[in-house]
Amino acid sequence: MKFEHFALNVPNASEMSLWYETHLGLAVVKKMTESPFMTFLADDSGTIMLEIYSNPKGETLDFNSYHPLAVHLAFVSKDPAKDKARLIEAGAIEISDDNLPDGSHLVMLRDPWGVCIQFCKRAVPMLKAN
């Protein structure tokens, strides 16, 4: 099996997807401009997508009420400190900034809607290089 996408049903999909496009560099694969405002966003490898939509048929979660370890979106980062500063300027909130004993650097933030975003600079990369 190949992972295709992870979906989030949120109250304001259009605004949130635009923020992810602008500040995380995700590329639009497909976007609906009317309800449910479904947007598929691909990472820079083009092999994994995040779907953001507002479908009243489904529940939306109060992400601010969840611990970051319950659910978060993790991104590979060459410079977590720089990415952290850039996202904080764009409205994200810092949760943690950890340098692990193995040399990895992990930063956890909340986007403006409460979804947790983690920046990972692993001492030993976990994903295959493209």
Tell the residue number behind the tokens 């449910």, with chain if given: 36
CA distance linking residue 20 with residue 4, whole number of Å? 18
For 4, 6, 43, 45, 101, the CA distances from 1, given in Å and listed in that order, are 9, 14, 19, 18, 33
Output the pTM of the full model: 0.93
The residue extents of the domains of the chain are 1-60, 61-130
The identity of residue 12, as a single letter, is: N
Tell the residue number behind the tokens 């304001």, with chain if given: 12
Say which CATH superfamily domain 1-60 falls into.
Answer: 2,3-Dihydroxybiphenyl 1,2-Dioxygenase, domain 1 (3.10.180.10)
Segment 54-80 shows an average pLDDT of 95
Does the domain formed by 61-130 have CATH 3.10.180.10? yes
pLDDT digits (tens, 9 = 90+) for 38-49: 999 999 989 999
Q: Where does the pLDDT of residue 128 fall: very low under 50, low under 70, confident under 90, or very high at 90 and above?
A: confident
If one counts every other C-beta atom within 10 angstroms of the C-beta of residue 88, the result is 12
Half-sphere exposure of 85 (CA within 13 A, CB side): 3
The identity of residue 73, as a single letter, is: L
pLDDT digits (tens, 9 = 90+) for 4-39: 999 999 999 999 999 999 999 999 999 999 999 999
